[in-house]
Structure 1
Amino acid sequence: MKKIRKNYNLEFKMQAVSLSEQRGNVSSIAQKLEICKESLVTWRKLHKEGKLTYEKQISSDPIREKLLRLRKGLEETKLERDILRKAVGIFSKKDG
């Protein structure tokens, strides 16, 4: 039988971490929430590192950051190109 991977939203993860920190027993909290103990341990670790927050998360991977920066630059270049095309079209029209 195929195992289905569950996805939990950030709010659920934050509440689970908060509950586990208050009560202290990770395995019993995981069992009550019907989640894997290892997932809760990972979420707690990410929370301590400051990576599990409500703020927009940006990857610390330098390759990913470079890719995002290049994509943003490409979008700006496309916008500039489109503006120049429109300007050429406007100025090349003959008054008639």
Structure 2
Amino acid sequence: MKNTRRTFTIGFKILAASMSIHCGRVSDVAKELNISKNTLQHWKRLYQDGRFNIKKTSAEVSHINELVKLRKRIKELEIERDILKKAQNIFSRIDG
């Protein structure tokens, strides 16, 4: 039988670490969550040091980059629109 390594989300790790700080002993919380005491102590140390990093996937990074490009494009289009409005006002005064 293969041993499969369990993976936990950042949210779960933060929740477990905060539970161990606020709700009792590390061993009790680890037993309740069915994780090892050493793992929970490590998470608790990371949590207290503020070193939990949320890693962004390549898809998230590409979405962020696209969002930045789109926002830049929106600003450019708004500037162009404002210029056209001003030109329209100028030409309407000349014709009228």
Unaligned segments of structure 2, at least 5 residues: 56-96
CA distance in 1 between counterparts of 2:27 and 2:39 reads 11
Structure with the higher fraction of residues in helix conformation: 2
CA distance in 2 between counterparts of 1:3 and 1:39 reads 17
1:1-96 correspondence to structure 2 within 5 Å: 1-53=1-53, 56=54
Scaled by the length of structure 1, the TM-score of the pair is 0.51
- Calculate percent identity across the aligned residue pairs: 35
Scaled by the length of structure 2, the TM-score of the pair is 0.51
SS in 2 for 1:6: coil
* Equivalent position amino acid for 1:36 in 2: S
SS in 2 for 1:2: coil
- Structure 1 stretches (4+) deviating beyond 4 angstroms? none
Size of the alignment, in residue pairs?
56
Unaligned segments of structure 1, at least 5 residues: 58-96
